[in-house]
Amino acid sequence: MKIFSAEQLHEADKITQEKQKITSLELMERASSRIFEEINNRLNGAEIKIKVFCGIGNNGGDGLVVARKLVREGYHVDVYVVNYSDKRSEGFLENYRTLKEDTKNWPVLLKSEDDFPEIKSNDFVIDAIFGIGLNRPLVEWVQKLIVRINESKAFKVAIDMPSGMLADEIIADQPIVEANYTLTFQAPKLAFFLPETAPFAGNVQIIDIGIDGQYLAENPAKAILIGEEQAASLYQPRSKFTHKGNYGHTYMVGGSYGMMGSMTLSSKAALRIGVGKVTAVIPQCGYDILQTSVPEAMVEVVPHDIHLADMKLELKKEDIVAFGMGAGTNEKSIELLTTLLNQVKTPMLIDADGLNMLSKYSELLELIPEKSILTPHPKELERLIGSWKNDFEKLDKVQKFSDKYKVTMVIKGAYTMTVSSDNIYINTNGNPGMATAGSGDVLSGVIAGLLAQGYDPAIAAVFGVFIHAKAGDLVVADTVPDALIASDITAYLGKAIRSLFEKPETKA
Ligand SMILES: NC(=O)C1=CN([C@@H]2O[C@H](COP(=O)(O)OP(=O)(O)OC[C@H]3O[C@@H](n4cnc5c(N)ncnc54)[C@H](OP(=O)(O)O)[C@@H]3O)[C@@H](O)[C@H]2O)[C@H](O)CC1
Ligand SMILES: [K+]
């Protein structure tokens, strides 16, 4: 599913009106009717006090339509107009008039802190103060209103966006409505998925309001959400008349004394995702460990007992190299990375200490083979690209880095993002149980395994991230997040792929 910018959504709004020959008011009525239906279905006639806070733009207009419909349905509704500007939109003015005429419900005008109503914890708040039109800092009293709404602990539903949040940037130190639910029009917004802003949106539900399909299909997205359907379309099934040579060979290079688990986990995950052959390249102390715990893998040892050291690998031209899992940053290990970067022409996967080496010796960055995949966690990312002011700036810096070095970046987090030149792919599955030691090693094995099987690098990253997270979700469905360990994820990789093609059970 595509994520569009606020600017694009405003444009889509206009094009829809032109093509469908409807007025802005009619589109607002259609959109807000859907919001009303959602809220009415949830409340189911409950004897609850509803407080609707409306701005003076079209988001406020939506709030007024919803309020009118709720009053007509017999709910107890108080409407407040947050008078932050004199520049009322037509949609606001018209629906303000209709609300008063049709329902005799007279909104209360809020102009300063003195006008704020008491909001009780058992009130139901509808936030229609600002939508995608917010574009500058809020005046102080409106900030205070948002703080008051949040402090009330009332249940809060935001229309389109929680007020105070911008779709595509962040205004520092500005309060945002902490919504329990956000009912958003047509397409999710980027801010719903970034760590700093995502918690304010609560549960996000997308409301289809019939925006022009051609616009949505043809316009480039700011980012793309990856769901089951997209993931299923990326999968490359095996055909019958093939042998292990058709599924690639991946060299997993890493490990050091005390960190050999990283290599067993990543090697096993590569095998489990279907690679034809795995060779683990490790220090000598890991030989017995690897041979015993991953008998399906071959092992080559470097000329050192406890950490990586320089050596020449006999690579075929299509072989894939993944570097860094549990490697440590010993100088000798860096020599091996340098040799590999000079030797390998296929896209590599670089993880963990491999990334730390790249940060420390930035001249190595120029040697990374094109289309390689880097999989940093937040600290490793900061070492690579420097610090950032906010999440939007982080994404921007990652895109520039990806462009400059022609690499795909997998930014790990609650919503892992894969950034490949102009494209941002957002993964929404996975669970907090996966924040556990070795989970990243498994991901590296999965992506390297897919790369070796011939997946395009960006697709190997996007599909790998999805399947890894899906496997984690399936593990947790059988247990609790706390109990998940990294090798469970590997064990469920097959089920995760199968789940993409299982039809939901239909009732007889
Ligand atoms: N997406 C769709 O297809 C539809 C969206 N709808 C709803 O419309 C809003 C967007 O409405 P809009 O009027 O553009 O914007 P807002 O209601 O969010 O904001 C109103 C205006 O407020 C001004 N502004 C911005 N920041 C501030 C501020 N900090 N202080 C004071 N005023 C501010 C700004 O105007 P300026 O010209 O002054 O910059 C805003 O325009 C969308 O979110 C949906 O809820 C339709 O109902 C259906 C179709
Ligand atoms: K809102």
Q: What are the DSSP calls for 24-40, one per residue? A: HHHHHHHHHHHHHHHHH
Bridge partners (DSSP) of residue 420 are 408, 423
Is 468 among the domain residues?
A: yes
User: Ligand 1 pocket: which of 81, 87, 132 to mutate (most atoms <8 Å of CB)?
Assistant: 132
The tens digit of pLDDT for each residue in 250-301 reads: 999 999 999 999 999 999 999 999 999 999 999 999 999 999 999 999 999 9
**pLDDT confidence bin for 34, thresholds 50/70/90:** very high
Nearest CA to ligand 1 atom 45: 59
Identify the nearest ligand to the CA of 126 by its number.
Answer: 2
**Residue 503 confidence (pLDDT) above 90:** no
Strands of the 320-323 sheet, one edge to the other: 2-3, 223-226, 423-427, 417-420, 408-411, 373-374, 349-350, 320-323, 249-253, 277-282, 298-301
- CB 294 within 8 Å of CB 286: no
What residues line ligand 1, using a CB cutoff of 6 Å? 9, 12-13, 27-28, 31, 55, 57-62, 84-85, 87, 89, 130-138, 159-160, 185, 211
Q: Is residue 63 part of a domain?
A: yes
C-alpha 130 to ligand 1 mean position (Å) = 6
- Tens digit of pLDDT for each residue in 285-341? 999 999 999 999 999 999 999 999 999 999 999 999 999 999 998 999 999 999 999
Say whether 60 counts as a known binding-site residue: yes
Q: What is the CATH number of the domain that holds 464?
A: 3.40.1190.20
Phi, psi (deg, nearest 5) at residue 299? -130, 135
Say which residues have a Cβ less than 8 Å from residue 14's Cβ, sequence separation at least 6.
Answer: none
Confidence at 243, pLDDT banded by 50, 70, 90: confident
Which H, E and C letters describe 288-342, residue by residue?
A: HHHHHHCCCCEEEECCCCCCCCCCCCCCCCCCEEEECCCCCCCHHHHHHHHHHHH
Whether residue 195 lies inside any domain: the answer is: yes
Protein residue with its CA nearest to atom 35 in ligand 1: 133
Kindly report the protein residue whose alpha carbon is nearest to atom 24 of ligand 1: 134
Beta strands 349-350 and 203-207 are unpaired
Q: Are residues 180 and 251 in the same domain?
A: no
Query: To which residue do tokens 């389109």 refer?
Result: 160
Which amino acid residue places its CA nearest to atom 37 of ligand 1? 87
Q: Which ligand is nearest to the CA of 133?
A: 1
Ligand 1 atom nearest 138 alpha carbon: 29
Ligand that lies nearest to the alpha carbon of residue 65, given by its number in the listed order: 1
From residue 274, alpha-carbon distances to 204, 266, 279, 448 in Å are 35, 13, 14, 10
- Tell me the pLDDT band of 116, cut-offs 50, 70 and 90: very high
Whole-number Å distance between alpha carbons of 373 and 421 = 12
Q: For a pLDDT cut of 70, what percent of the chain falls above it?
A: 99
- Give residue 245's pLDDT: 75
Residue 182 banded pLDDT, cuts 50, 70, 90:
very high
In 344-418, alpha helices (H): 352-360, 378-385, 391-405
Question: Can you tell me whether residue 480 is helix, strand or coil?
Answer: coil
- 247, pLDDT greater than 60: yes
Q: What is the pLDDT of residues 142-172, one digit of tens each?
A: 999 999 999 999 999 999 999 999 999 999 8
If asked whether residues 423 and 304 sit together in one domain, one would say: yes
Q: How confident is the model at residue 507 (pLDDT cuts 50, 70, 90)?
A: low
The pLDDT score that the predictor gives to residue 98 is: 95
From the CA of 129, how far away is ligand 1's center (Å)?
9
Nearest to 444 by CA among 307, 311, 275, 276: 275
Query: Is there a single domain that holds both residue 177 and residue 252?
Result: no
Does 136 count as an annotated binding residue? yes
Query: How confident is the model over 44-52, as a mean pLDDT?
Result: 95
187 and 252 in a single domain? The answer is: no
Instruction: Kindly report, residue by residue over 57-92, the tens digit of the pLDDT.
Output: 999 999 999 999 999 999 999 999 999 999 999 999
Residue 301: name the closest of 319, 289, 293 by CA: 289
What confidence category does residue 506 fall into, taking pLDDT thresholds of 50, 70 and 90? low
CA-closest residue to ligand 1 atom 44: 59
Q: From ligand 1's centre to the CA of 128, what distance in Å?
A: 10
State the closest ligand 1 atom to the C-alpha of 62, by its place in the atom list counted from 1: 47
CATH number of domain containing 97? 3.40.50.10260
Which tens digits make up the pLDDT trace of 344-398?
999 999 999 999 999 999 999 999 999 999 999 999 999 999 999 999 999 999 9
Q: Are 254 and 362 contained in the same domain?
A: yes
CA distance 164 to 176: 4
Among 56, 69, 85, name the best residue to mutate to test ligand 1's pocket (greatest count of ligand atoms within 8 A of Cβ): 85
Q: Report H helices in 251-300.
A: 260-272, 287-293
Q: Which atom of ligand 1 is nearest to the CA of 30?
A: 48
ipTM: 0.98
- Is 214 a member of any domain? yes
Whether the per-residue pLDDT at 419 is higher than 90: the answer is yes
The answer to whether residue 240 sits within a structural domain is no
What's the full length of the chain, in residues? 508
Please give the pLDDT value at position 102.
87
* 258 and 405, same domain (yes or no): yes
Angstrom distances, CA of residue 254 to CA of 72, 185, 354, 494? 67, 47, 9, 25
190 and 269 both lie in a single domain:
no
Say if 380 falls within a structural domain: yes
Structural domains in the chain (count):
2
Q: Which atom of ligand 1 is nearest to the CA of 87?
A: 38
What is the average pLDDT score of the chain? 95
Q: What is the DSSP string of 79-129?
A: EEEE-S-S---HHHHHHHHHHHHHH---PEEE-SGGGPPP--TT-EEEEES
Closest ligand, as measured to the CA of 208 = 1
pLDDT of 505 strictly over 70: no
How many whole angstroms separate alpha carbon 506 and alpha carbon 16? 36
Q: Do 180 and 270 have their domain in common?
A: no
**Ligand 1 atom index nearest CA of 12:** 3
Shared-domain flag, residues 47 and 178:
yes
For the stretch 128-147, pLDDT in tens is 999 999 999 999 999 999 99
Is the same domain home to 204 and 255? no
In eight-state DSSP terms, residue 344 is -
**Any domain includes 285:** yes
Domain for residue 241, yes or no? no
Taking CA atoms only, the protein residue closest to ligand 1 atom 20 is: 57
Owning domain of residue 182: 2-221
Question: Which one-letter amino acid corresponds to residue 323?
Answer: F
Which candidate, 222, 8, 39, 1, places its Cα nearest to that of 132? 8
- Mark whether 338 and 397 lie in a shared domain: yes
Note the pLDDT tens digit of each residue in 423-449: 999 999 999 999 999 999 999 999 999
Residues 214 and 269 in one domain: no
- From ligand 1's centre to the CA of 214, what distance in Å? 24
Was 413 annotated as part of a binding site? yes
Tens-place pLDDT, residues 444-494: 999 999 999 999 999 999 999 999 999 999 999 999 999 999 999 999 999
Nearest protein Cα to ligand 1, atom 38? 87
